[in-house]
Each structure stands twice: as structure tokens, then as C-alpha cells.
Amino acid sequence: MGNRQSKSEIARDILSYLNANPEARDTLNGIIEWWLLEEQIKHRIEMVKEAVAELVKKGLLIETIGWDSQIQYQMNSERAKEIGSLLDRDTKRRKKRKRSGDPSETGDDDGIS
């Protein structure tokens, strides 16, 4: 996942923050450091949940229950070689796109997951 956002996505995040916090007021630096960071974290949490669920479904991650009764995740060591190959292939694909100037190289693709 990349960090590049369009102006319209940034504007949506600002408005979303203000909708949830109608009395908010801040400097440009405050908007960047606090408002946008909070909105990005909200979006990222959902994306991480989806990515982890997909990796578990594919058997690349293993779920276990920790001593604190929370679900913990770890690499499926039986699939370590396959995971390494996936990462190598994804890295090569990204480098190729970057060299070709492919505008779709925003990091939002489904390369590994």
C-alpha cells in the first residue's frame, strides 16, 4: 500500500475529520500531522484486517491464541520458501513498473495478497 493520495482523497479525509470533529481548528501542519494521520490510520486498520484475513485464508499466516486470549499471527514456516518467492516476484514487478514510468504504481495493487 502506498502513501500517495490524490487531492480529492486528501480533501475527503479533511472533511471526514471535520465531520467527526466539527469544532476542530488547526494550522496546516496540525492538519497534516493530526487530522490526516488519524484518517489514514482509520483506513489502514481496515486494509490491514483484510490483508491479514486473506493471508490466513491462503495459509501464509497462522493464527494462534496468545496467553492473553488475543489472536496472534505468525508466518507459516512450512510456506517460507513460497513467501520468499512471492516477495521476490513482487519486488521485480514493482521495479519494472517504476522503470517504465507506469502511473499505476501507486502501491494499491494486489501483488502479494
What local confidence, expressed as pLDDT, does residue 91 receive? 87
What local confidence, expressed as pLDDT, does residue 66 receive? 94
2-6, 16-20, 43-47, 91-95: which range is least confident on average? 2-6
| Domain total of the chain | 1
| pLDDT top residue among 97 and 36 | 36
Tell me, yes or no, whether 1 lies in a domain: no
Instruction: List the domain range (segments joined by +) for residue 14.
Output: 7-100
Average pLDDT, the chain: 86
| pLDDT top residue among 101 and 26 | 26
Across 46-71, average pLDDT: 95
Tell me, yes or no, whether 108 lies in a domain: no
Across 77-105, average pLDDT: 84
Tell me, yes or no, whether 109 lies in a domain: no
Cβ distance 24 to 34 under 8 Å? no
